[in-house]
Structure 1
């Protein structure tokens, strides 16, 4: 059998089939011209704000209000945690390969790690390709240029100033003559000064959403991190390290804890997405005895990243994955082959560590408050991850329900009164 290509996957797998596989349900009540798919909570209620609409040609989907289209390939690559085959740090091409072969009921050699995809040039990151603006504490004009990137995130000027040495605006002009400018969190390999990539965020669109997030072309994503050392000491002498999935979350956490003086003597890290083994190793080699504060997102993937860190710090060889039922399966490859399945409903990191034989007080898990997916959402009071509603929306809906109930009761009383009079 010849190898399947990206084009094979896009032609043979329906985007609606992929949405269903990712846990979405057809929303028959939507009334839209094109099919929409929503996620349901444990009580079969629609999670507000978590919806994808299939495009007119039926080949792609998008999540309103953004109009970024996802085909079968890009949907899997940008939402890896929605698929059971996903393992932190794995190649996204490998994930596409596994998911698409399963949906097509095609056998796949477990040793096959790559799929045939369009050839891409091996681009090496070069900072000289960008025009840079630094956040200059003595230059108000330079600070104003950063304003639009932080306003909708709720991140204040004081917080921006605290991270001033670790922020850039990076502009590049493409072949079509258009110039694009992004907020950039410069990435470095721990222990080295050279910038090896950029974690990028675009200016928000008219709906207040960031239209683009990603990394600059050629970024060293496997080893590079955003390293914001707020202390006056070299990296190897810092006692507290805070890990995040994005630079925005790191800044939000700092702002949410204004009375923790130790934060101004700590290192803030962003992995720019899924944390990888080499990113963990680079910091652990320099700071093996520091207090590592794991501040990943409040979801199963974030919990998995924290467990991965604890296992790697312990020097264990392992593989793990999340089952459809939400259990964390850990395969201990350190000494033989041992398998443990652990429920994750309570997000109890300490209990999981105890179950797998790790008792390490220097691995500290910090989760956003219950109901918020990440630290920036908590700063904004934006998202209730169980229902998809903001707190204010929930309050307004309860008030509307109470008002409607009272109106209904009054109408029924009027009907009964009129009936008695007749």
Structure 2
């Protein structure tokens, strides 16, 4: 099997994170319960060296994992983290990962069959079922009020109407109205693969069974001429993408595509988008916070096919890539800072919201980041004195 980008998507349908974890010595923690998630632990008792929580118990292709420290990813990420544990060869890390996953794809299920039966007997995620939802086109003569609450004008709603739906969940007995749905699509899956959903009162969700592993919301303004797209802008939510477009409409044109990862980040999501638009520059438009910068680095990592280890420090982000370790202070665009330490081949860019705003939708609404005011020494001393007085009482 080749080391092409598509091969990862094919292999993920046959190799789950749980398969790799078992080979590395992780075991199912039955005490933690099994449902939409299950936990796997490396070591036991006082020697617990790692715990991963795996999502999607019944669909290997859609499996993702996370840790309670915030790290997360898919099976490719998990293999990359543990490359040194496998005895494999290859011209680069990506070829090694492909060889490892290919080996797993051809291995029979062995010692953990009883655990698999235990997991399958528990409730797992079901594939996305479009019949569960009533779906309508956006009504331009009666625009959903949530669009206006989010700061969008009628022209923006009209422009994005081909990429947005109104959606109602027939299984939801508490709400019979329509929310706004952003349909997910994927190169390796026909039709709609799910929805990113937004509603009143800050409600946000995804349609049950949405494929967040290899599918994403994509607003393609090229009218099908995907090879002509010059820039693909990546966001954490579809509302951010719409806000960005409304604020920068005059500078964009029709040779662009806007992408929402919906709060998740999977290598297959990004690779699938890159496959769609092979000639486009990849632009980081993620949030103005540390999580957004980590997503920006992961975007570069996937686009460049360069595995990176990212660690948060008080000074910034410590990155290890191509046998080099360096600190990024995040004062300039990531691809420029990274380019000072390792060679960058892809066309990359960064277009963040102004620094006083967390994301593009907040920018459109004029909602600035509330400053975090650190207490002065006098404040700390006064607080300590008050606590001591309270203890004496």
The match for 1:203 is: 200
CA–CA distance in structure 2, aligned partners of residues 311 and 194 of structure 1 = 29
What is the SS of the residue equivalent to 1:312?
Answer: helix
1:224 matched to 2:215: yes
- How far did residue 276 of structure 1 move? 1.4
Aligned equivalents of 2:172, 2:346: Cα separation in 1: 52
- Work out which of the residue numbers 273, 277, 296 in structure 2 matches 1:283: 273
Q: Secondary structure at the match of 2:200?
A: coil
Instruction: Give unmatched runs, 5+ long, in structure 2.
Output: 1-26, 34-52, 54-65, 79-114, 374-393
Aligned ranges for residues 153-168 of structure 1 at < 5 Å? 153-168=150-165
For the residues of structure 2 that align with 1:157 and 1:300, how far apart are their CA atoms? 33
Q: Which residue of 2 is the match for residue 380 of structure 1?
A: 365
Say if 1:191 and 1:286, in contact at 8 Å, map to a contact too.
no
- Aligned residue among 241, 245, 253 for 2:236: 245
**Shift of residue 286, structure 1, vs aligned partner:** 2.9
Give per-residue Cα distances to partners, 1:45-100, cap 9 Å, x unaligned. Answer: xxxxxxxxxxxxxxxxxxxxxxxxxxxx9xxxxxxxx9883235359xx9xxxxxx
Q: Which residue of 2 aligns with 1:125?
A: 128
Indicate how the Cα distance of structure 1 residues 177 and 214 shifts in structure 2: closer, same or farther if over 3 A, else same: closer
Distance 2:172 2:360 in 1: 37
Superposed CA offset, 1:176-208 (max 9, x none): 47525321000000376510010001123xxxx
Per-residue deviation at 1:282?
0.6
For the pair 1:306 / 2:303, whether they are aligned, the reply is: no
Instruction: Select which of 322, 329, 333 maps to 2:311.
Output: 322
- Render the CA deviation track for 1:90-145: whole Å, top value 9, x for unaligned: 59xx9xxxxxxxxxxxxxxxxxxx9x9993233110112111110255xx1xx43x
Deviation at 1:172, TM superposition (A): 1.6
Check if 1:343 corresponds to 2:328. Answer: yes
RMSD of Structure 2 on Structure 1 (CA): 3.3
**Cα distance in structure 2, aligned partners of 1:86 and 1:322:** 11
Match of 1:331 among 305, 320, 323: 320
Post-superposition offset of 1:277: 0.4
- Any idea what SS the aligned residue of 2:69 has? coil
1:369 and 1:134 map into 2 onto residues whose CA distance is 33
Cα deviation 1:204-235 (Å, max 9, x = unaligned): 3xxxxx1x212111000011111111223432
Deviations 1:18-70 (A, max 9, x none): xxxxxxxxxxxxxxxxxxxxxxxxxxxxxxxxxxxxxxxxxxxxxxxxxxxxx
Question: Is residue 326–residue 345 contact of structure 1 (8 Å, CA) maintained in 2?
Answer: no
| Secondary structure class of the residue paired with 1:179 | coil
Mapped contact 1:280–1:309 kept (Cα < 8 A): yes
CA change 1:119–1:339 in 2 (3 A) is farther
* Other-structure match for 1:150: 147
Give the alignment's TM-score, normalised by structure 1: 0.58
Equivalent of residue 258 in structure 1, options 249, 253, 262: 249
Query: Matches of 1:250 and 1:258 in 2, distance apart?
Result: 11
SS in 2 for 1:285: helix
Q: What does 1:343-422 correspond to in 2, within 5 Å?
A: 343-346=328-331, 348-360=333-345, 362-387=347-372
Change in 2 beyond 3 A, CA 1:83/1:348: farther
Give unmatched runs, 5+ long, in structure 1: 8-72, 74-81, 95-113, 205-209, 389-422
> In the aligned structure 1, how far is the partner of 2:28 from the partner of 2:291?
34
> Shift of the alpha carbon at 1:310?
1.7
The aligned length equals 277
Indicate if the aligned counterparts of 2:227 and 2:278 stay in contact, CA closer than 8 A: no
Report the TM-score when normalising by structure 2: 0.62
* CA distance in structure 1 between the partners assigned to 2:258 and 2:190 by the alignment: 16
Q: Structure 1 residues 216, 190: CA separation in 2 closer, same or farther (over 3 Å shift)?
A: same
* CA spacing shift, 1:327–1:124, aligned 2, 3 Å: same
Q: 1:169 to 1:268 in 2, by over 3 A?
A: same
Further displaced range: 365-374 or 349-358: 349-358
Change in Cα spacing, 1:195 to 1:2, as seen in structure 2 (3 Å) is: closer
SS of residue in 2 equivalent to 1:162: helix
